[in-house]
Structure 1
């Protein structure tokens, strides 16, 4: 099998994660995070739905990592994001991180909002 190095150009990749933290673009962030092609920042989690809504201007799809297991977004928030025309994919945080990395390496307009494992 041939392995190729993934190139992210100027995008910010998720380098790793662990109990209560994410390593993004070489920097460790504690707790929940929001990551876009240009930046990573801490997030207050589902208690801050406005941060997710703001991502609609930056991304075509938002990957929402719900921690170690898959859970549902609150119905009202899901409906608001759908009405804004942004795609939302809810999955476990590890899966969301991997999917985000693959798509930013392809130059896609995606964002990640993830709760820690």
Structure 2
């Protein structure tokens, strides 16, 4: 089997994650994060902001709900993302990190809203 190094088309993948943190581009970030093409920033969670969809420039938002998958996102959050024409995929945060990296490697316009595991 031939192994190829992943290319992320100028985007920054998630290097790692653990209890309460994510490592992105070699930098450790604690707490919830929002990853968009414009960069990485702290995120106050579902109720605080429905993500500024107009500035997102993404086709898909991968939502990490913490250590386990939650099937129920707040209605306002979900509605705001859908109203902006952005697809949404919900999963536990570890799976969301891996999915985000795979989609970046495919050159997709993807963002992530991640609660720490």
TM-score w.r.t. length of structure 1 = 0.89
Q: CA RMSD in A?
A: 1.7
1:5-44 aligned at under 5 Å gives the runs 5-44=5-44
Please name the residue that 1:93 is paired with. 93
* Aligned 8 A contact 1:32 1:116 in 2: yes
Please name the residue that 1:66 is paired with. 65
TM-score w.r.t. length of structure 2 = 0.89
Please name the residue that 1:2 is paired with. 2
Q: Does the C-alpha gap of structure 1 residues 62 and 56 become closer, same or farther in structure 2, counting only changes over 3 Å?
A: farther
**Structure 1 alignment gaps of length 5 or more:** none
> 1:62-103 deviations in whole A, cap 9, x for unaligned?
001000111121123212322221101111111111111011
**Structure 2 Cα separation of the partners of residues 18 and 69 of structure 1:** 13
Report the secondary structure of 1:96's partner residue: helix
